[in-house]
Structure 1
Amino acid sequence: MGCAERAGINLGADGISVIEVTGKDNLMISDVLFRTLGVPCYMVFDGDAGTEERKRQSTAHLLPEQRQDKELKYERDARRTREKNADLLRYLGSPPIPQPSDESTARYTVFEDNLETYFSQHWLAWDLRRRDLVRSDEAVDGKYAATHLETTRTVATEPPFLLHAMLENVTSLGKTAMVV
């Protein structure tokens, strides 16, 4: 939404709603429900490529047997995530890649890991601006929509190409569309 605002596009006025469905498990069902009602949908999701490694790093302080149990769970979770990615892409008519790369198509945008990692790699000024906002108590650290919106609205540099492509794909859906 922040990228749309920067571009002078009012998604709401254009009949486009952004709905958080909290996870991959809810994307397909939301898409099916809205499309059944005749409402075009556009999906945005994370491929979560780095999640397993980040979780493993968080177990470094544990005893070996505790760490092993956690790491086995993280492996199972990562395997399920890859299966969900492939299922989603198959549903969307794309090759069922378990670990997709950053991509924006007419039906979806996927971030290889997650939005925050994408920003830290491709829009360095965004991450610096977010940190400044958090330090000055104008935003909350973590995955908060309000922090992301304010950072995107106020960062000095332009968003990377993938975000422009996503915005173009979303707005091409026309009036009364949902972004899930």
Structure 2
Amino acid sequence: MISDALFSALGVPCYVAFDGDAEMEERKRESVRHLVPPQRQEKEQEFERQARTNQTKNANLLQYLGASPSPRPTNDSTGRYTVFEDTLETYLAQHWPAWDERRQDLVRAGEGIDGKNAATYLETTRTTATEPPYLLHALMENVRSLTRRL
């Protein structure tokens, strides 16, 4: 929000894309299932705090962007922002499975890096044979519209 406010004050249009992290707590809980109960409970309490913090941040960010403040936003793209209900990666796995298959192929072939990697994501997007889902088209159109006003 700080950089958006700063750039906006300078007259530089900004577009915000963010993850709502709806399933973050469950993913983290799964990662500690193997721990003994006292350790697991301590970690799970921390995950609950993180989830509450994320929900507050989501609501605050949406309100800042002029939208209805929601702690658990759904997939949406407007002229000001795009939000993914959970994460971009979760969205892609659900709505563009060919993208994830292509990314995994690139990684296996040694032409990409596993995990979040901008270069691998770019090459995956560039070389995936199927069309991206609607939300990604909307995001790109909203960004293009923003840049046309420059």
TM-score, with structure 2 as normaliser: 0.97
Q: Secondary structure at the match of 1:45?
A: strand
- Per the TM alignment, residue 29 of structure 1 is displaced from its structure 2 partner at its CA by 0.2
Structure 2 match to 1:69? 42
Structure 2 match to 1:140? 113
Structure 1 match to 2:126? 153
- Distance, in Å, in 2 between the alignment partners of 1:122 and 1:167 is 16
Structure 2 match to 1:170? 143
Q: Secondary structure at the match of 2:146?
A: coil
Structure 1, unmatched stretches of 5+, are: 1-27
Indicate whether 1:127 and 2:100 are aligned: yes
- Per the TM alignment, residue 174 of structure 1 is displaced from its structure 2 partner at its CA by 2.5
- Distance, in Å, in 1 between the alignment partners of 2:14 and 2:45 is 36
Q: Which runs of 4+ in 1 moved over 3 A?
A: none
Structure 2 match to 1:94? 67
How big is each residue's C-alpha offset from its partner over 1:134-160, in whole Å with a ceiling of 9 and x where there is no partner?
Answer: 111110100111111110000000000
Structure 2 match to 1:12? none
- Distance, in Å, in 1 between the alignment partners of 2:19 and 2:116 is 13
Q: Secondary structure at the match of 1:110?
A: strand
How big is each residue's C-alpha offset from its partner over 1:51-80, in whole Å with a ceiling of 9 and x where there is no partner?
Answer: 110000000110100000000000000000
Indicate whether 1:78 and 2:51 are aligned: yes
Indicate whether 1:31 and 2:4 are aligned: yes
How big is each residue's C-alpha offset from its partner over 1:75-96, in whole Å with a ceiling of 9 and x where there is no partner?
Answer: 0000000000000000011110
- Percent of residue pairs bearing the same amino acid type: 65
Q: 1:60 aligns with which of 33, 55, 58?
A: 33
Structure 2 match to 1:10? none
Structure 2, unmatched stretches of 5+, are: none
- Distance, in Å, in 2 between the alignment partners of 1:174 and 1:160 is 22
- Distance, in Å, in 2 between the alignment partners of 1:37 and 1:55 is 39
- Distance, in Å, in 1 between the alignment partners of 2:75 and 2:129 is 23
Q: Secondary structure at the match of 2:16?
A: strand
What is the number of residues matched between the two proteins?
150
Does the aligned pair in 2 maintain the 1:39–1:176 contact within 8 Å?
A: no
Q: Secondary structure at the match of 1:127?
A: helix
More helix by share: 2
TM-score, with structure 1 as normaliser: 0.81
The structure whose RCO (Cα within 8 Å, separation 6+) is larger is 1
1:148 alignment partner AA: Y
